[in-house]
Chains A and B, each alone.
Chain A
């Protein structure tokens, strides 16, 4: 099933001279995990905004082409409802706390309160989500006094509790340390396993390589290439588009250039080790 379908979309922010999106066509399939990579200012966040309906409902500007979310034209969607159906987690953990709740439990519950969900149901769901994310020990704490990494997990909980079918996640780890980053990617992995459609913008290419199903590379408002993670992240030409590829892939190409090609270009540590071990065995025979 198609979650989002874009056909020849062009978009310009109000007062902007240049298009932020140029001739973007793409089909997002339900249950897939998409990694959105490329240079800053290349249109990644604008694409996220379009999918969530912030473009054109919040930012206005000029939108051309066809954008359908859940089978309906984006312009016809009720903006408030769309904002809830597609969950959103972003970079700054501080701006994602409501600032009006005094415990994490209540913070996480806020979205469901706003939807008028029955109280026992709220309590059940909030408990479930806190357990799912491993933040039970934070439940009674004040969300406004947590560390960045803790707040980011609470931000995830507050969105996931609303049981969105799709999540847009924009650079969730850029302010976190390696431990915090691991925690966030564990959460995203669990969401993927729960069958959610996920669109993730991220610079940490080794994490993208490990977790995503498909990659979309953007530059200057255009999708310059897209496809299966294994295929895309093993291409040296990505560097031309100012996108990064994993060190493992660079090494794979170097091995090939030095006359010791691996069976294929690795994109993760595990693959690199595995292919190199295979190479050793063939060399040994």
Chain B
């Protein structure tokens, strides 16, 4: 047959290939492990654990070639959560051990600092785990495994299509903005100008999105979207290998033990 040699088409005949083991990791197992790690930092609530975890997540991100993608949102979180928690805790937690006095008037206490560090570290550990998941997992792969587990393909479609919708909306907004500028509505400059330009831009954007939906649903029905039967998946992921399952189970067991330990300790 023609095109037998095309590596692109052949890629659908095999399980999907990924650059490294972590990217290939079954999305649900990955989600499971990372969430357990994230929650563990919340439960332990100790800055030594939280920061170690954050650094490990960071190292892992770089090891699997997603370092830059990971650092972009993560550094924002570090700045916002990390910094503000430390500052706010100085005001909300009363401490007696004054370490030093800032600007000669604001006392920085050890209790408040530790408390702040603990909170900041668990927030970082948790968000780091979530971010790492999303920068190492393609949404369509997550939807694929969820559909395998019985989630309806309607839900999967809505989730996946909404990403494209956001891209389309941005493109549309630019076009509408141009169209309104071309008729004489100032969209730049003073705040008043921008406020007056709000409806002329938002209106067509929303209406366009709504009127497109009906056509799209008709188009999708013509492609058997609503026909009830078992679907084929052109793109397939390999089933999770034993070591992945064991790793996931181990993580879950550790987490359960941790919960029990925390409960008993109370």
**Chain A interface (Cβ < 8 Å from any Cβ of B):** 54, 58, 79-81, 83-84, 87-88, 90, 92, 94-96, 98-100, 102-103, 105-106, 109-120, 122-124, 127, 131, 139-140, 144, 155, 158-159, 162
Contacts and interface: CB of A to CB of B under 8 A. Distances in A.
A98 B223 contact: yes
16 contacts: A58-B218, A80-B227, A80-B228, A95-B219, A98-B157, A99-B168, A99-B216, A111-B223, A112-B224, A116-B230, A116-B231, A127-B3, A127-B9, A144-B168, A155-B219, A159-B222
A79 B229 CA distance: 15
Contacts of A159: 222-223
Nearest to A81: B227
B219 A88 contact: yes
Nearest to A164: B222
Contact of B222 (A88, A92, A123, A124): A88
Interface in B193-252: 212, 215-216, 218-235
B164 A99 contact: yes
Contacts of B218: 54, 58, 83, 88
Interface in B2-54: 2-3, 8-9, 12-13
A127 B140 contact: no
Q: Is the interface of A mostly helix, strand, loop or mixed?
A: helix
B174 to A, nearest CB: 15
Interface string B159-191: 011001101100000000000000000000000
Contacts of A111: 222-224
B219 A105 contact: no
Contacts of A124: 1
B228 A100 contact: no
A92 B227 contact: no
Contacts, number: 114
Given A54-B218, A88-B219, A162 B164 contact: no
B53 to A, nearest CB: 33
A83 B168 CA distance: 26
A203 B160 CA distance: 36
Nearest to B2: A127
Contacts of A84: 221-224, 227
Contacts of A119: 12-13, 232, 234
A98 B220 contact: yes
Given A84-B221, A95-B215, A99-B161, 13 more contacts: A80-B227, A83-B218, A92-B212, A98-B220, A99-B160, A100-B140, A100-B164, A106-B235, A115-B229, A122-B232, A122-B234, A144-B164, A159-B222
